[in-house]
Amino acid sequence: MFNLTIKRKVVLLMGLIVTIIPIILIATLLYSYYLFGVEHFFNTKVNEAIEETVKVAQLYLQEHKDKVKIDSLSIANNIEKNKHIIFNNKDLLQLFVDQLANARGLAEIMVFQDGFVIIRNSLGLALWFENIKSEVLDKLENEEVIILDDNVGNRVRAVTKIEGLPENTYVLVGRYIDQAILDHLKKTESSAEQYKLILGGLDITKHKLQIIFVCSSTLLLTISVLIARRLALYITKPLEEMALATVSLRDGNFSVRVPEGEQKDEIHTLARAFNVMTEKISEQHSELVIANEVSNTRRKFIEVILAEVSVGILATNLDYKVISYNNIALDLLAVNIRPILKIEDIFPELLKLLENTKNSASENQIDDLIIVRKNKKLHLAVKSGPVLDQKGKVESLVITFSNITDLIYNQKIAAWADVARRIAHEIKNPLTPISLAAERLKRKYSAEIQSEPNSFIRYIDTIISHVGDIERMVAEFVDFAKIPDPKIEKNNFIKIIEESLLLQKVANPEITYSFEPKQGKYLVKCDYGQILRVINNLLNNAADAIKAKYSIGNLSEGRIIINIREDLRNDQLYIEIIDNGCGIKQTIIDRISEPYVTTKQHGTGLGLAIVKKIIEEHGGKFSISNIKDGAAAAFNLSFFEDQKT
């Protein structure tokens, strides 16, 4: 009843008290009367007594049938035994049959053959054996005696075949039954049938009474509900009007009023208070509408400004709960949950700066922060400042921040390029004379050295080898510092991959390379030589990672897979090189493409920096990440226009 309306509660209570409880009481009384009054006369004991009476009468009849069976068999045997004596003298046969009938108290004995009577007892009535069906006589081939169910008078008759006489010779025996007993048997069976009919109709009568009771109860309940509904309507109508008015007020109709009524009762007082309340709400709403229009104008102006600026903006109260933000801020902080709760949930690195801003009251705070979002390190230039109220107290805080990751990266690249250029210039000049001098010493003095000549030659070869290493390092410095502008042409990317794989398979025959492109060409806009250099570098790195993970004898476990995927809608070809090598340390993976960051013992750390620079100058993006059993490097190139056709 807790979620019902007042009207329904009144109707339910009236129906329960006025109707349902009396109906239950009446039903209980009627059921008790029916159970102890009517069904008492039709209980199991009465039914069993009647059935036993019928059984006794049927047993009496069955007893006579059994006697007739015995008599018929005995008479057939006597006739068969004396057939030679009695069948030669008809009078003797008649006397023999009469004696058998008198001795056994039989009403009739008849011997017949093929439908003709041979002999019957003198006192016997005419027996209509013509109604004995041939099927009955046929059964005597398998049965000794058959009781005839032809209901002839008050007799029980049986027929049996006489053995030893010509075929189809039978004897029919009949015995009288007391007519009073037969009448009593019929009355007993008739009474039993009537009792069963009454007993069978008792359930129907009970169901009829139940239906009448249910219909009457339903009618009474309906009348009670209608009366209760009228009464409830009288009580609840004013409340319903007030509820509807409240809903209308909630939906914005501030002119709604309810009738106060003529009677000065509680409903009148409540309606009067409601009307006064709605009048005050209407006045306050008008004031709020005007204030809201001004506020919306300001808000839209601020939203336009926030949406147009290229920096992230957050505003918080003094508890560091975010009260405003722009989409740039959400993108930089990789926040998808709305509403945002507190700064510590989305930008915990900012808390110390906000503390300083709140304490300084009037000074802006500036700082550079490094954060990690989605496994990517970001460099942010952050500025925070207080918002003061009319009394000069800090009311809220505003934070602006911009992503300077690319700026710092480009600055590093430019700085390292300048360093590489200077180092290459300073180192390259003395390398040639050192190399020439070492070779001249080897040619001129190798024959003259008498003390440890092999050591002398080994020292000279070491100098020449290291000079070669330094020259290769200088060459990498020069390549990094002076990567030429790409010559964009139409090239078949499959051809670039196959050329690179040809060299890699020769250099690393133990490693398995997998590249299964679709049939056809992938025409891309690129500098053939630079992209070939990119593929070679990435495949070399993958092979080195496999060699670092597996021993020399187990290099056959190494796998390098090249996948390409086309996106014709955006004119892009995506390339991914996957290996099952040792992967990259998680501490440096976000800096792996920066200059001089390497995982190799003798590496310069310029290879991936050159790769990234080449890809970016082609208008693509380069990324590298760890996977379950190794690492994956990926980049994209633009299709040539002919690729769509």
Q: Are residues 513 and 626 in the same domain?
A: yes
Q: Are residues 24 and 74 in the same domain?
A: no
Q: Are residues 617 and 536 in the same domain?
A: yes
Which of 369, 403, 437 is the C-terminal boundary of a domain? Answer: 403
183-236 pLDDT tens trace = 677 777 677 677 667 666 666 766 777 787 778 777 777 777 777 777 667 667
Could you tell me if residue 249 is inside a domain? Answer: no
* Distance in angstroms (rounded) separating the CA atoms of residues 81 and 78: 5
Residue 127 per-residue DSSP state: P
The answer to whether 170 and 87 have CB atoms below 8 angstroms apart is no
Could you tell me if residue 286 is inside a domain? Answer: no
Per-residue pLDDT at 1? 46
Per-residue pLDDT at 270? 81
Which residue numbers in the chain have pLDDT < 50? 1, 127, 645
Contacts of 517 (CB under 8 A, 6+ apart): 494, 497, 564
591-600 pLDDT tens trace = 788 776 777 7
Q: Are residues 191 and 319 in the same domain?
A: no
Could you tell me if residue 427 is inside a domain? Answer: yes
Average pLDDT across the chain, whole number: 77
Could you tell me if residue 268 is inside a domain? Answer: no
Per-residue pLDDT at 645? 47
Q: Are residues 632 and 560 in the same domain?
A: yes
* Distance in angstroms (rounded) separating the CA atoms of residues 452 and 508: 39
Could you tell me if residue 48 is inside a domain? Answer: no
Total number of domains in the chain: 5
Q: Are residues 322 and 447 in the same domain?
A: no
Q: Are residues 473 and 498 in the same domain?
A: no
* Distance in angstroms (rounded) separating the CA atoms of residues 627 and 454: 50
Which of 357, 376, 403 is the C-terminal boundary of a domain? Answer: 403
Q: Are residues 316 and 201 in the same domain?
A: no
Q: Are residues 572 and 472 in the same domain?
A: no
Could you tell me if residue 49 is inside a domain? Answer: no
The answer to whether 502 and 535 have CB atoms below 8 angstroms apart is no
Could you tell me if residue 597 is inside a domain? Answer: yes
Phi, psi (degrees; rounded to nearest 5) at 577:
-115, 120
Residue 639 per-residue DSSP state: B
Single-letter code of the amino acid located at 460: I
Could you tell me if residue 439 is inside a domain? Answer: yes
Q: Are residues 149 and 97 in the same domain?
A: yes
CATH number at residue 335: 3.30.450.20
Q: Are residues 511 and 634 in the same domain?
A: yes
CATH number at residue 582: 3.30.565.10
Q: What's the domain range around 557?
A: 489-644
Q: What Å distances lie between residue 642 and 618, 635, 639, CA to CA?
A: 18, 21, 8
Per-residue pLDDT at 287? 85
Q: Are residues 493 and 639 in the same domain?
A: yes
* Distance in angstroms (rounded) separating the CA atoms of residues 159 and 162: 10
Which of 449, 481, 513 is the C-terminal boundary of a domain? Answer: 481
